[in-house]
Chains A and B, each alone.
Chain A
């Protein structure tokens, strides 16, 4: 089998690059060449993805893993950035936070999120049609929510949004990503010092009260929560709206749906769009996966967006069917690193999509669908802008 690199060009805004589907049909795992020339693996099968992500013989540490898309940088993982740690370090940090993101705690945020969504819709209406849905709706809502939850000033958003966008840009020059990283860490380190000196009623102040956490660790945790807390949901809101607008019947169904049907629709949008389209692991020892031997030190890319289209697991996986019931999709990952903030993301989406469609029943694309700029250059997929009118 010939070695390929990971394609990023999309033939259709909602489907993974077409090669992924062809490769999945050939088998759940294949060899792949990484951005730095590393000879590793690509997994597209659902069962194989769960097997790797649930196996402690695979590490998440980025100093061991290679990137399928981005050029190597000198970036190191900041203290506290537990998404890139294995147990037991990972467990220690995650356990400090899991109580903050339970189903119950996130449900309690509903009224506040509803108010934020309503404010943002009112702002859109005042500015008038047309509007860029990313700028005016999809990005502000999760940004406002995570800022309020963490205790980060929303006035500083331009700063952290610019830096986090640069960090997620897989095509950017390594130097520019390194600068963005340093700037964001400086900003968050200063914030950590402030939260410890002058605590307020927010999540970071609560963490700062834990004396066994250093200010650098606090900054690293804040880094993770801030980026993960707005880039992901923002892209789901914008790309999800784009997908809904491309089919008026679907759009009307979600607009008029009750809470349970909305919840099911959100799960199906998560499965179908999988904006976190891939994650990477590295074998700590030789491991057999679907008849292939992954050698110790070899990287494995799990292409979640294609695994979520595996016909062996999902009926009619190429269709966006909002009446589908989809337990066990991989949009939030799988295993011990599965998204900590998933219940927050769900609450935000369940409120935001129907509120948008109800406020603007005539919502439509303001440009041709082929003119919408796709985020094929970013580690989290979506659209760079979504011009809409009503």
Chain B
């Protein structure tokens, strides 16, 4: 993870097949993740979250019980 002075870019991907619908990501970062109405599986609302959501997305990735949130920061 770079902590340089420039603006960091975050790219998020989710592995829908591994998702267990625990809802942890929605709790941490509701601007970035949602759940499908029918089965609670993750919906990625924004694959390039705004900087103010970055900390919450990192928390969501840590908390996800099936490690299906991948975060790349450049």
Residues of A near any B CB (own CB < 8 A): 53-54, 94-95, 98-99, 101-104, 327-328, 332-336, 338-340, 342-343, 346
Contacts and interface: CB of A to CB of B under 8 A. Distances in A.
A143 B26 CA distance: 26
B22 A99 contact: no
Contacts of A333: 65
A336 B66 CA distance: 6
A342 B22 contact: yes
Interface size bracket, B side: 20 to 34
Nearest to A325: B59
A334 B40 contact: no
- Tell me what chain B mostly uses at the interface: helix, strand, loop, or mixed: loop
Contacts of B37: 99, 102, 104
A338 B27 contact: no
Given A94-B21, A99-B36, 10 more contacts: A101-B23, A103-B23, A327-B28, A333-B65, A335-B65, A336-B65, A336-B66, A338-B20, A338-B22, A338-B65
A301 to B, nearest CB: 19
Contacts of A98: 20-21, 39-41
Nearest to B60: A327
Contacts of A99: 21, 36-40
B16 to A, nearest CB: 12
Contacts of A340: 22
B67 interface: yes
Nearest to B36: A99
Interface string B44-65: 0000000000000001101101
A339 B26 CA distance: 15
A346 to B, nearest CB: 8
A68 to B, nearest CB: 23
B59 to A, nearest CB: 4
Interface in B7-51: 20-23, 26-28, 30, 35-41
A339 B22 contact: yes
A104 B35 contact: yes
Contacts of B40: 98-99, 101-102
